[in-house]
Structure 1
Amino acid sequence: MNASLATGHEKNIEYEKLTFLYGSVPLILLIHSFSLIMFSVLMWQVVDNYSLAIWSSVSAVVLLFRYYHYYVYKGLDDKVRKREARVWLHRYYTYVLISGGVWGSAAFLLFPQTNTLNQMIVVLFIIGLTSTAVGIISAKWYLVISYAFVSFVPLIVKLSIMDSSLYHTLAYIISALAILLLFTGKHFNSVIDISIRTRQEMLETKSTLEELKSRFFALFENAPVGIFYYDSELRVVDGNKNILQIFDIENKERFIGMDLGAVKDGRIKKTLKEVFSGRQGSYSGQYATPFSDEALFVELVTVPLGDQKNSIVGGIGIVRDLTTEVEAKEEAHENAFYDPLTKLPNRTLLMDRLQVTIEQGVRHGYLNALLFLDVDYFKHINDSLGHLVGDKFLQQISKRLIESIRTEDTVARLGGDEFVVLLNNLPSDRKKASEQTYSVAKKLSDVLNRPYEIESHEINTGVSIGIYIFSYEKEDPNDVLRCADAAMYHAKDNGRNRIEFYVPEIDRNLKEFMETEKEMRRALEENQFELYYQPQAVLSSGIVDRVEALIRWNHPQKGLIEPLDFIPVAEKSGLILKLGEWVIEESAKQMSVWLDRYNDFPIRRIAINISPIQFLQQSFIKNFMAVVKKYGLKPENFELELTENVILKDIQSASGKIEALKEMGVTVALDDFGTGYSSLSYLQQLPVSVIKIDRSFITNLEKDKNNEMIVKTILSRVNMTF
């Protein structure tokens, strides 16, 4: 029995392959016919016309025979096809090999002796047709081998016996190509074979399930589905408990005797009547029950109900309530393509629409634009006011965006505070398109910059917008998004709350940034960074009692690199944390060596520049003190220098940490004061011990009265504070 089933399974697979192969015949005939015509036209003035005519006639006859057998095959019944599958497969193989042999013979019969261009035409036609055929006939691996043999071997032999080494080289190349095609054909063969077998197994499984389903419908009176019986007049005879629950019927008496012929939906009525023709009926869709106001989504299956004489006297209806399932699918679809918070299209749907927009733009010759929007300082809003306020803030932004664009344009949320606006059908003139896009971007910026009232909080913020104009030529949607994203980050780098168009220079800067980041990672691994210690003297006594640790990058190719050329990259990439830890570790190690080696060593304090990003890390003080203890040092041995950026990022957190460090004995200095945008009033909030005024104010102090006034103001403020 098992052997019989296995044989039947293999026959079905053979029949599926037969169907696949003959299904490709029209395409093959079209390709070969077109190729025959083109080849004959191109070679008419080149080779012997008599030989070409004979060869073309043979090719045409083969094509006609293939078409004839295809026509006969299509007219056969499925049962006949299955029974004669082997015969038709052999016919298919025969004509494929004859076609390959005919084209292979062209290498000898129609190969020009002198003109290299025309010789290459013969070569290209044979290679092209053979390569095309491999993908189609791969359902039979041995057929691929045979076809490649009869089409390629004559060509390879012909090229091999010619005098020039050029042809010999070409013969080797074609031989390699033939081998590659064989491997490709083998791969396609495996894919097709697996697909056919999988499909056959699915069909067999489906058939088995359908059989089981029809066999057991009438056996489950108490099944977890609704079951009811009805007579030839479409009146309900009986039903189970589940059908009453589905239709929200209080008692069975109300259901029994119900006239199903009064159902308004014609599709349901047709399904109910289908059984009287001896067929099974089915319906899947909405149903408005007269017993409840609730709209249901049901699946109804009806089967004939016969008596002892096998006469159909009614039907059995099986009802399954799909309402919850359909709602879940709709919700899943919503979640798959829309952002759950804002109900805007998400990245997946955006990329689909972007792909369509690109293709339409190329086809119709108009431009499109992608605007990448990022809310400035959203993290601060989220952290300070809470996620609930942050979510409502994002919802208000979404609402303003939707109200500010055309209906044919798209607003999407990529996640967090990142939004994208896709503008369609812009003018084909780039200048006009840019002007229109900028006008929209400016409008969006103005709209989003208006205050927000949320939970008794007034929120004011800006938005950085990057713009990329596209569709002169087909582009990858990911590249379009990347370019708009790069323009947005360029806007942020230039001060935030700005609108920037994408220019190629942004990509170059990004590549330079990525290359520098990559080299910095390698530099950390290979210890290319060095610390230099600059002595500092007390002006009143001239005694050198402290040093400042200055980092330099000793690049193996570029030499010594100043901090200004790599610290910004380190801060943007996050490498500043590892680099800062290394500086603290090395400085502490060096201080420990000095103090251990020299008893009367005058240097008692080492100053270290700390990045605001590193300083504002929650674990900064803990990590710093761990290094101090590791090398047996005291907090008094260290001076940490901060810049004004720490004020702008988070003054409350910075103030608390500075106070904690001072209590431990660490000196905290504010470096280069006056170069940033911080107010002098911040000095009263930051309990620093040292203020270092930027050198730009000190140079030529006697000659520059403005700088003199600024310095005096800073000093007076410092005196008031300390």
Structure 2
Amino acid sequence: MIASISLAAILAYIQSTVVPASALFVWCSLTVLASLLRIGLVFSPHSPQPSGNATRTQLRWFRFGVIVAGAVWGSAGFLLFPDQHPRHAMFLIFVLAGMTAGGVISFSADLFSAIAFSVLLSLPITLRLFAEGDSLSVAMAVAVLLYLGFMIMSMRRINRNVSENITLHLDAGKREKEMRESEERYRLLLRHLPVGIFHYDTDLIITFCNDRCAIMLRNSVDCIVGLDLTHLKDRSILPSLFKALKGEMSHYEGRYQATFSNAEGWIYMTCAPVLDDSGHIVGGIAIVQDVTEHKAAEEKINNLAFYDPLTELPNRRLLLDRLQQALASSARSGREGALLFIDLDNFKTLNDTLGHDMGDLLLQQVAQRLTACVRQGDSVARLGGDEFVVLLEDLGEYDLKAAAQTESIGEKILATLGQPCQLGAHEYRCTPSIGATLFNGHQLTKEELLKQADIAMYQAKKASRNTLRFFDQQMQDAVTARVALEDELRKAIQRKQFRLLYQIQVDRLVRPLGAEALIRWQHPERGLMSPDQFITVAEETDLILPIGQWVLDTACAQLKTWQQDACTRNLVLAVNVSAKQFRQADFVARVQATVQHHAIDPALLKLELTESMLLENIEDTISTMNALKEIGVQFSLDDFGTGYSSLQYLKRLPLDQIKIDQSFVRDITSDSSDREIVGTIIAMAQNLYLGVIAEGVETEEQRQFLVGKGCEQFQGYLFGKPVPAEQFAAELITVVDASLDQEDAKERL
């Protein structure tokens, strides 16, 4: 722009002597205004990062300025053209041609601006030359047009080249920026990676180290860069570093002690060679991971998998592994081993009374004492709950010697565990039941050995507790039979193989009062089985619950049938209830639902309960009984005298009747002790306003004695055996006839 203003001033000065002053003034004024306009456009505020719309607006203003400048310079072809001065005319044409060439260079980036400037500048002088009319002027006009055409073609080539150069420049700048950003990201990535990274040269000098690596080495990046790796305190990683310098990938995993501190951890390192452009090794790069926490977690998981977290003893999994090894060792050496299965007596009671914290404390003390009792090389494991197992190895080559050693260690365990344990403020004496089994080689599997020791332990618990029992085959046979019986019981429930028999109950005049429902199992192979052959297994396996519900439902259905007959409508039916059945949370609701379903009089339903079940959770027992008493259900205390009832509890229970156990009735005619016991029971019941029924009455002498003592109700073979419901009617007629005969005899007397 300065060159344009300077050239305009020179042109005005040269032409001032040959053109009118008014024309010169007008052109100079236009030139000044055009220059001011362009200066204003140049210095107008621009956005540092203009948007697309702003850029297009700036381009329009730029083109407007170019058009104004081209028009002003083009007007010189009219205003400053001298008529009679050829040299001044030639000077004007020369200046305009130069300006055209300058415009080509200046505005080549925008083809429209370059062409517009050149056309506006050249067209007026061309028209003026044509207007002169002489051949020279016309020739000069044609020459100007040819020059303009040449310049336009040149403009297109120059514009294309400039555009390409600008594009290349922008692309290069963009790539350079992206490269710088990529390098910065790479540096940031390396510096802040969660793993340690360092570069080293062929002399094992560290040339780069990221922050994580510095943290792992317990020092700053500045101190580590330049470190000679051959001077490391722990040289265990050097072989891997050297391998990378030989062109090999290498790895190291193990413990490592930091050079700048005594800190030790577990690392995993991968090393790789670094090559230059020609493929020569110029150093190595190492990626280091601190896996100390990972290793600690692995160790913790391993402990959880193989050790009991409470006692820190081996668990079942580790015990089975050690037992398998012991069997293999025994097979090689021919020496015996033993397995002791230990269960703490009454541990559940301790948890219920003192709480689980005290129970856990006891288990920890037991674990410590067991470990102290065994030899080095023996194993103590906790299977769960209050069950422990001791594995003894290398006991000798003979059964008797091995058994003697096992018994000696078992007695030591009994004595040690029998010492009082201090559980907080409580002193507790622990007693164990121990089952033992011997092994030699692979005669039995580890699971079979554990099963044998478990069976022996249960025999010890049944015997007297706080004792040791060795496994024998009779135990195994009993357990096998029990398992088979359990399986058959399940099938019996599904196949409805149970039957109810009814044994009549009478008063002192042998008049029918009711009956007791007695369950039998119609076994397809063993025939009719009594309850003492299967009820214990049913109670231990919870099969008693569906069986008990079936008994209750069937008995109520029979009561419904009896209520429809005038001869039996007033009979009371006694139904035995198991402890587990009675302890069900919804037992009351089940009884109510059954009574309602069969639409029976609940006063004719009598539930027989045993002493032991009544005294467990006495408050809950009373609550359950009262809930059923409210709807009319009666209660009888079964087998009275065989348990451990106290008068304090007995008078609190909402009972209606006491049943004297047949074990006392059997010998009352010959045993004075039984006579005294029976007399006391009857007197006590009368004082408590409770009814009394004697079961197992088989002779008239027994009945006469009981009548003499005040017993009012009787049950036994003297009056009738348990029979199916369809035979019960005939049994009832027989009893009624006997009752009538007895009344007639009394009247005759």
Correspondence for 2:582 among 612, 615, 638: 615
Q: Distance in 1 between matches of 2:541 and 2:464?
A: 18
Summarize the Cα distance change of 1:574–1:266 in structure 2 as closer, same or farther, 3 Å threshold.
Answer: same
Counterpart residue type for residue 241 of structure 1: D
* CA-CA distance at 1:284 after TM superposition: 0.9
Summarize the Cα distance change of 1:647–1:256 in structure 2 as closer, same or farther, 3 Å threshold.
Answer: farther
2:304 corresponding residue in structure 1: 335
Correspondence for 1:556 among 521, 524, 527: 524
Contact preservation (8 Å) 2:267, 2:288 = yes
2:267 corresponding residue in structure 1: 298
Choose 1 or 2 for highest CA Rg. 2
Question: Any idea what SS the aligned residue of 1:479 has?
Answer: helix
Correspondence for 1:532 among 461, 476, 501: 501
Summarize the Cα distance change of 1:716–1:425 in structure 2 as closer, same or farther, 3 Å threshold.
Answer: farther
Structure-to-structure mapping, 1:319-718, within 5 angstroms: 319-471=288-440, 474-539=443-508, 542-595=510-563, 597-598=564-565, 601-646=568-613, 650-651=617-618, 653-676=620-643, 682-683=649-650, 686-701=653-668, 703-711=670-678, 714=681
2:214 corresponding residue in structure 1: 244
Counterpart residue type for residue 344 of structure 1: L
Deviation track 1:479-499 (CA, whole Å, cap 9, x = no partner) reads 111211222223334354432
Q: What residue ranges of structure 2 are gaps of 5+ in the alignment?
A: 1-185, 690-749
Q: What residue ranges of structure 1 are gaps of 5+ in the alignment?
A: 1-215
2:199 corresponding residue in structure 1: 229
Counterpart residue type for residue 364 of structure 1: S
Q: Distance in 2 between matches of 1:229 and 1:306?
A: 12
Q: Distance in 1 between matches of 2:546 and 2:665?
A: 34
1:50 corresponding residue in structure 2: none
Summarize the Cα distance change of 1:443–1:628 in structure 2 as closer, same or farther, 3 Å threshold.
Answer: farther
* CA-CA distance at 1:553 after TM superposition: 1.6
Summarize the Cα distance change of 1:698–1:528 in structure 2 as closer, same or farther, 3 Å threshold.
Answer: same
Summarize the Cα distance change of 1:317–1:217 in structure 2 as closer, same or farther, 3 Å threshold.
Answer: farther
Q: Distance in 2 between matches of 1:258 and 1:408?
A: 50
Q: Distance in 2 between matches of 1:255 and 1:685?
A: 86
Contact preservation (8 Å) 1:231, 1:314 = yes
Q: Distance in 1 between matches of 2:288 and 2:215?
A: 11
* CA-CA distance at 1:610 after TM superposition: 1.2
* CA-CA distance at 1:308 after TM superposition: 4.6
Counterpart residue type for residue 645 of structure 1: S
Question: Any idea what SS the aligned residue of 1:425 has?
Answer: coil
Counterpart residue type for residue 372 of structure 1: F
Question: Any idea what SS the aligned residue of 1:426 has?
Answer: coil
2:64 corresponding residue in structure 1: none
Contact preservation (8 Å) 1:683, 1:718 = no
Summarize the Cα distance change of 1:414–1:627 in structure 2 as closer, same or farther, 3 Å threshold.
Answer: same
Question: Any idea what SS the aligned residue of 2:496 has?
Answer: coil
Contact preservation (8 Å) 2:337, 2:440 = yes
Contact preservation (8 Å) 1:217, 1:318 = no
Question: Any idea what SS the aligned residue of 1:474 has?
Answer: coil
Structure-to-structure mapping, 1:157-176, within 5 angstroms: none
Q: Distance in 2 between matches of 1:567 and 1:305?
A: 82
Q: Distance in 2 between matches of 1:498 and 1:684?
A: 38
Counterpart residue type for residue 486 of structure 1: I
Contact preservation (8 Å) 1:286, 1:295 = yes
Q: Distance in 2 between matches of 1:293 and 1:630?
A: 81
Contact preservation (8 Å) 2:432, 2:466 = yes
Moved more, 222-231 or 319-328: 222-231
Contact preservation (8 Å) 1:371, 1:422 = yes
Q: Distance in 2 between matches of 1:652 and 1:414?
A: 35
The TM-score with structure 2 as length reference comes to: 0.62
Q: Distance in 2 between matches of 1:285 and 1:389?
A: 42
Q: Distance in 2 between matches of 1:677 and 1:721?
A: 18
Q: Distance in 2 between matches of 1:721 and 1:237?
A: 101
1:64 corresponding residue in structure 2: none
Structure-to-structure mapping, 1:7-156, within 5 angstroms: none
Q: Distance in 2 between matches of 1:719 and 1:288?
A: 89
Identity of aligned residues (%): 39
Deviation track 1:423-474 (CA, whole Å, cap 9, x = no partner) reads 1111322222222212222222232333433343444443222111110663
Counterpart residue type for residue 442 of structure 1: E
Counterpart residue type for residue 599 of structure 2: G
Deviation track 1:249-303 (CA, whole Å, cap 9, x = no partner) reads 5x43343334433322221233333333333332111222255665321111222
Contact preservation (8 Å) 2:271, 2:287 = yes
Summarize the Cα distance change of 1:412–1:536 in structure 2 as closer, same or farther, 3 Å threshold.
Answer: same
* CA-CA distance at 1:368 after TM superposition: 1.0
Q: Distance in 1 between matches of 2:484 and 2:187?
A: 68
Summarize the Cα distance change of 1:617–1:339 in structure 2 as closer, same or farther, 3 Å threshold.
Answer: same
Q: Distance in 2 between matches of 1:648 and 1:481?
A: 35
Q: Distance in 1 between matches of 2:682 and 2:273?
A: 100
Summarize the Cα distance change of 1:719–1:449 in structure 2 as closer, same or farther, 3 Å threshold.
Answer: farther
Q: Distance in 2 between matches of 1:457 and 1:653?
A: 28
1:253 corresponding residue in structure 2: 222
Contact preservation (8 Å) 2:421, 2:427 = yes
Counterpart residue type for residue 576 of structure 2: N
Q: Distance in 2 between matches of 1:653 and 1:401?
A: 39
Q: Distance in 1 between matches of 2:260 and 2:645?
A: 72
Contact preservation (8 Å) 1:374, 1:417 = yes
Contact preservation (8 Å) 2:249, 2:271 = yes
| Higher RCO, 1 vs 2 (CA within 8 Å, ≥6 residues apart) | 2
Counterpart residue type for residue 280 of structure 1: M
Deviation track 1:574-597 (CA, whole Å, cap 9, x = no partner) reads 2211111110110111112222x2
Deviation track 1:484-516 (CA, whole Å, cap 9, x = no partner) reads 122222333435443221111112112222222
Q: CA RMSD in A?
A: 3.0
Deviation track 1:393-444 (CA, whole Å, cap 9, x = no partner) reads 3222212211211121111122222211111111322222222212222222
Question: Any idea what SS the aligned residue of 2:226 has?
Answer: coil
Q: Distance in 2 between matches of 1:591 and 1:440?
A: 60
Summarize the Cα distance change of 1:418–1:566 in structure 2 as closer, same or farther, 3 Å threshold.
Answer: same
Counterpart residue type for residue 241 of structure 2: L
Counterpart residue type for residue 657 of structure 2: V
Question: Any idea what SS the aligned residue of 1:607 has?
Answer: strand
Counterpart residue type for residue 201 of structure 2: D
Moved more, 542-551 or 407-416: 542-551
The TM-score with structure 1 as length reference comes to: 0.64
Q: Distance in 2 between matches of 1:524 and 1:373?
A: 35
1:22 corresponding residue in structure 2: none
